[in-house]
Amino acid sequence: MLNKLVANAEEAVKDIQDGATIMLGGFGLCGIPENCINALVKTGVKNLTCISNNAGVDDFGIGLLLNTRQVKKMVSSYVGENAEFERQLLSGELEVELIPQGTLATRCLASGYGMPAIFTPAGVGTEVADGKEIREFNGKQYLLEYAFDSDYAIVKAWKGDTHGNLIFRETARNFNPMMAMAGKITIAEVEELVPAGELDPDQIHTPGIFVNRIFQGVDYEKRIEQVTTRLKS
């Protein structure tokens, strides 16, 4: 087996160059690769294209990369919690491609499955369809959408082993597994790293064949994006 274990986030991302296209796992602020994002901020790498469900918030997640002007383009489905993102978008400093969430997920899957493109009904008749090929199947119109072409996928898992097998927990299982399949190089940070053979094969969500680098993360904040409580009546 290839040695996939690296010491830390800094080691994992050190070869990411200016202009790279990166997938970043997570759903909102849940299951985001906190350590790798912090390490990318330190490297100062710039002109990144970031493909993510979200754009983080002003002082956390991808928002940290936006604050340091390291992101050239965001490809996302939900960006409503980041004032700096809004400012950069409206001022023309940031390129933005907003995508229906299901289309974002399926373009990730297509990339992981080796498919060049998909047809989807989402976005037909809206601005999303501008300039895109439309075909009709069984009397219904569909948009042609291309699979993502990303240099790196950076994901965060609950548990992993030294061969790169990954287990995700709850909401963090949303975009992380499909992005892990889709990157040319996949980097995984995990809360708990165990020797190969210790994970129950029936519990593994992402097989190690998809993972190129893995390390045990530290100091996870796991911030809650929107705290919602309900008083008992």
User: Residue 225 pLDDT > 90, yes or no?
Assistant: no
**Structure confidence at residue 229 (pLDDT):** 75
**Structure confidence at residue 107 (pLDDT):** 96
Residues written for the chain: 233
Q: What percentage of the chain has pLDDT greater than the value 70?
A: 98
Closest CA to 211 of 6, 52, 26: 6
| The one-letter amino acid at 53 | N
Q: pLDDT tens, 51-97?
A: 999 888 988 999 999 999 999 999 999 887 788 999 999 999 999 99
Average pLDDT, the chain: 93
Q: What percentage of the chain has pLDDT greater than the value 90?
A: 83
Domains, the chain, in order of start with CATH, read 9-115+148-216 (3.40.1080.10)
Report which of residues 221 and 139 the model is more confident about: 139
Contact 205, 167 (CB under 8 A): yes
With b for 16 or more beta-carbon neighbours within 10 A and e for fewer, the 105-130 pattern comes to bbbbbbbbeeeeebebebbeeeebee
User: Residue 187 pLDDT > 90, yes or no?
Assistant: yes
